[in-house]
Chain A
Amino acid sequence: MANQLKQFHLVGILFVVLSLTNAVKAAETKTYHLVLENHVFFPSEVTIPANQKVKLIITNKDASPEEFDSFDLNRERVVFAGKQAKIFIGPLPPGKYEFFGEFHPESARGIVIVKEVTQ
């Protein structure tokens, strides 16, 4: 029992340390805007820098909700009708990452292009 207590204290301490890392303020995240209108994302192509976290702000101008979905980006988020939603993506290596609107997958489609930034 003493050993188990010790093990679970260690696991608990691990969780505390991990949660403390969340308190560390990240550098300012770049923001990119997308508009969803008539069930189409505009722009449908967004280029972002490699290895940096960025914020996508999606404004849904349609009268029905949409769900931003991307297995490539590992994100899923509902954007309510007439509202905005924030989606944090990255840091990502260079490449192309597809996304789509789950409720209108035939029209609401887009791609995030991640490129190395040369100084």
Chain B
Amino acid sequence: MKYLLLFINLLACMIARADGMVVDKVYHPYVTANEREFEWRLMTSQTDNSNLLTQRFGYGHAVLENVALEIYAIGTRDENNNFELSAFEVESRWMLTQQGEFWADWGLVLEFEKQKAQDNFEASAGILFEKEFGRTSLTMNLFAIREWGESLDSEWESEFRLQYRYRYLPEIQPSIEIYAGEDFIGIGPGFMGVYRIDRQEQIKWDAGFITEVAHSGKNHTFRFAIEYEF
């Protein structure tokens, strides 16, 4: 716990900007032993001047009872409207406390990304928090991000994500989401759900429509993720 507090303090002292798309998945601090999954994630953001698109294809596997690894291929649409494979990422998720044991549940996510065409890198560490209030759950993520490379300025960034979810039915769990980072504060509705196919085989989905509220002008982001767990 001492190390966790130290880490959080360091995280909080880091600089508060982020260059990429701030809206992304809100991570939950749980890992289920033996879990394996394929994931497709899409984020599309429309402003007055641009229409960004990022897609990720990933494969994940719980390597320990409380640690899962996932690798991603990331594709983005460039300024010439060409969609191409742009980066690779390795991610590890750590369940730090057992669900329900303490007042709240905690986890950690570590990510390392390398651009395909250039020696540009991004490493990030995030603290994951979740607390149950009856049939609702509050989830928060706080990320510290470091970027560096041949065509990137070396800099620290940070991002904050929040999701307040009502566990209505397994298939339909509506939520409100808030994102902050890089002069961006966004809020909007989300939903997630799970459909069990057979035994441990299940499909999970997760989506949100986030509107930027800190500045005037159009800035809407739609995010969608689907996972096949087996």
What is the interface of chain A, defined by CB distance below 8 A to chain B?
Answer: 1, 4-5, 7-9, 11-13, 15-16, 18-24, 26, 53, 65, 67, 71, 74-78, 80, 86-90, 93, 102-103, 105
Specify which chain A residues have a CB less than 8 angstroms from the CB of B17 in the assembled complex. Answer: 1, 4
B4 sits at the interface (CB 8 A): yes
**8 Å CB contact of A11 from B99, B102, B142:** B142
Specify which chain B residues have a CB less than 8 angstroms from the CB of A75 in the assembled complex. Answer: 99-100
B77 sits at the interface (CB 8 A): no
What is the interface of chain B, defined by CB distance below 8 A to chain A?
Answer: 1, 4-5, 8-9, 11-17, 30, 32-34, 65, 97-104, 106, 127, 129, 131-132, 134, 137, 140, 142, 158, 160, 167, 170, 180, 183, 199-200
Specify which chain A residues have a CB less than 8 angstroms from the CB of B132 in the assembled complex. Answer: 74
Q: Is the CB of B200 within 8 A of A102?
A: yes
6 nearest A-B pairs in the assembled complex, by CB-CB distance: A12-B12, A88-B100, A4-B16, A78-B33, A8-B16, A22-B102
Secondary structure at chain B's binding surface: helix, strand, loop or mixed? loop
Specify which chain B residues have a CB less than 8 angstroms from the CB of A26 in the assembled complex. Answer: 102-103
Q: Is the CB of A15 within 8 A of B129?
A: yes
Q: Is the CB of A105 within 8 A of B16?
A: no
Q: Is the CB of B127 within 8 A of A15?
A: yes
Known pairs A18-B129, A88-B98; list 8 more (Cβ under 8 Å).
A8-B16, A8-B158, A9-B13, A22-B1, A22-B103, A24-B103, A74-B99, A88-B100
Q: A4-B17, A21-B104, A76-B30 are in contact. Are A12 and B98 (CB under 8 A)?
A: no
Q: What's the nearest-Cβ distance from chain B to residue A7, in Å? A: 7
Q: A8-B14, A15-B8 are in contact. Are A21 and B103 (CB under 8 A)?
A: yes
Q: Is the CB of A12 within 8 A of B99?
A: no
Chain A to chain B contacts (Cβ below 8 Å), 6 pairs: A4-B16, A16-B9, A18-B104, A21-B103, A65-B33, A76-B32
Q: What's the nearest-Cβ distance from chain B to residue A12, in Å? A: 2
Specify which chain A residues have a CB less than 8 angstroms from the CB of B14 in the assembled complex. Answer: 8
Tell me the bound Cα distance from A9 to B100 in angstroms. 27
